[in-house]
Amino acid sequence: MKPSLSWMFMLLLVKETISQDFMEPSVNILIELKSIMGKIKVMEEKINELQMENREQNVQIEALKVRMNTTHGIFTAPVKGVYYFNIVLFNANPPSAGVHIIKNRARVVSITDNPPGEDSEDTASNSVTLLLEKGDQIHIELIEKRKVYTDLAGRNSFSGHLLFPTE
C-alpha cells in the first residue's frame, strides 16, 4: 500500500503545481508586457517627432509659395536644392509657339510647338530638374518670332517645386 499512497500524493502535488501556473501570470508574460509598453512609448515619441518635422516642412512649403514674383514672372530660389520645373504650351493657330526656360541669364531648356496640322489644337510640354543655389532665378522667355497662345481656358502652364534641399 505504500507505493499507491505515495503515488496519490505525487499526483496531488503535480495537480497543485499545474493549477498554480495556470491561475497566476508567468514572470515571462510580465517581462514581455513591459517590453511591449516600452516599444509603444518609443513609437509614440517617434510619431510626435515626425509630426513636428511635418509641421516644419509645411512652414517651409508656405515660404516657397511666395517666392514667385507674379508681376515679372520670376521665381527666386529661397534655399539651395534640387528643383523640378514643367511647362506646357498650347497652340491653336499660326505662328508657332515657343519659349525658353532661363536660369539666371542662361537658357536651360526650350519648348516649341508648330501650328496644328490635321487637328485644330496642339500641345507640347517639357520639363527640367535643376540644382539651384539660394537666390538663383528662373523665368520664361519668349523665343523670337514665336508666340504664346492664350484664351480663357488656361491651357498653358508653368510650374515648379523643390524636390529636396541640399543644405
Q: What is the pLDDT of residue 24?
A: 58
For the segment 109-144, what is each residue's pLDDT rounded down to a tens digit? Answer: 999 888 777 566 788 899 999 999 999 999 999 999
- Does 91 lie in the same domain as 151? yes
Q: Which three cell numbers stand for residue 128?
A: 527640367
Look at the pTM and tell me if it is higher than 0.85. no
Beta bridge partners of 129: 84
For the segment 8-39, what is each residue's pLDDT rounded down to a tens digit? Answer: 555 555 555 445 555 555 567 778 888 888 88
- Does 120 lie in the same domain as 159? yes
**Could you give the C-alpha distances from 83 to 57, 68, 89, 115, 149, in angstroms and in order?**
16, 14, 20, 31, 26
- Does 118 lie in the same domain as 50? no
- Does 88 lie in the same domain as 133? yes
- Please report which confidence band the pLDDT of residue 1 belongs to, taking 50, 70 and 90 as the band edges: very low
Asked if 81 contacts 64 with a C-beta cutoff of 8 angstroms, the reply is: no
Domain boundary among 28, 47, 63: 63
Tally of domains within the chain: 2
Domain that holds residue 30: 2-63
- Does 142 lie in the same domain as 113? yes
- Does 161 lie in the same domain as 87? yes
Domain boundary among 44, 63, 82: 63
- How far is the C-alpha of 112 from the C-alpha of 28, rounded, in Å? 72
Res. 52: pLDDT tops 80: no
